[in-house]
Structure 1
Amino acid sequence: MSAIGLHHVQVACPRGGEDAVRRFYAEGLGLVEVDKPEPLRGRGGLWLRGHDADGAVIAELHVGVEEPFAPARKAHPAFVLASPSDLDETGRRLAGLGFEVDHRERYTFPGYERLHAFDPHGNRVELLAPADG
């Protein structure tokens, strides 16, 4: 059997919800919006990527328009940050932008610290960082 990799994760938003999504994922998380391929642009939504220090793509998120829309409150993407201090900074930034941030599960995942946030349409997003020491 050959190796398998993950290309992207998709979450949904309601029609017209793209600007609010940009605020959360681009301004709040620091992902960069990229152009969707021409044949897919008419569907709405957007694509975002995260890059490492060398510019390599390390995360890709597609946001698709779904009608009727219902937020994913359990299923979720999980993004890895470099350190617990990055986790704290990102949580503060998201909260400062008005998004819900939940720290109750901070120490429940061995080897990591984490938090959960909710994008502007109520989709759950997990942020993890390797635990210090």
Structure 2
Amino acid sequence: MLTAVDHVQLAGSEDLLRAFSTGVLGMTETPKPPGPAARGGCWFEAGAGRLHLGIEEDFRPARKAHPGLRVTAIHAYAARPAAHGGTVTWDNGLPGHRRFSSEDPVGNRLEFLEGAG
């Protein structure tokens, strides 16, 4: 289960990211206040974490910059993007953590972390 979002903003296709955020990440969509809602995009929550997804002209996916998403049961959680055709790339380079990278349906990099203790 997703427990925290370390970093926040992504951009891309609102419809694709909405389906991915709720269906794959397991987040709940939350209403945006009227001002931000007029600009499009959508907001999501899981645990104490929030993810804001926006619309961007001339969008290019973030391949280096990324949100770091704290999860529990990371090996089971890795099956979620894999089941939807996403890549899962494990990385042992952060001491004290298990982590993997994947992409959302528009190509933005996502990192998933769990403490190894």
Aligned to 1:30: 26
Of 59, 64, 69, the residue aligned with 1:74 is 64
- Paired position in structure 2 for 1:102: 89
User: Hey, what does 1:64 align to over in structure 2?
Assistant: 54
Q: Deviations over 1:74-117 (max 9, x none)?
A: 011101112xxx211121111111222222x1x21100000001
Amino acid at match of 1:81: V
Match of 2:79 in 1: 92
Which amino acid is 1:109 matched to? L
Tell me the matched-pair count: 113
Provide the secondary structure at the position in 2 that maps to 1:109.
Answer: coil
Q: What does residue 42 of structure 1 align with? A: 38
What TM-score, normalized to structure 1? 0.78
User: Which of the pair has the greater relative contact order for Cα pairs under 8 Å at 6+ separation?
Assistant: 2
Identity fraction in percent: 40
Distance 1:88 1:18 in 2: 28
Gaps of 5+ in 1: 1-5, 52-57
Residue in structure 2 matching 1:112, options 97, 106, 112: 97
Conserved? CA contact 2:6–2:68, under 8 Å = no
Structure 1 stretches of at least 4 aligned residues deviating more than 6 Å after TM superposition: none
1:130 counterpart residue number: 115
**Alignment gaps of 5+ in structure 2:** none
Superposed CA RMSD? 1.8
Shift of 1:33: 0.6
* CA–CA distance in structure 1, aligned partners of residues 109 and 9 of structure 2: 12
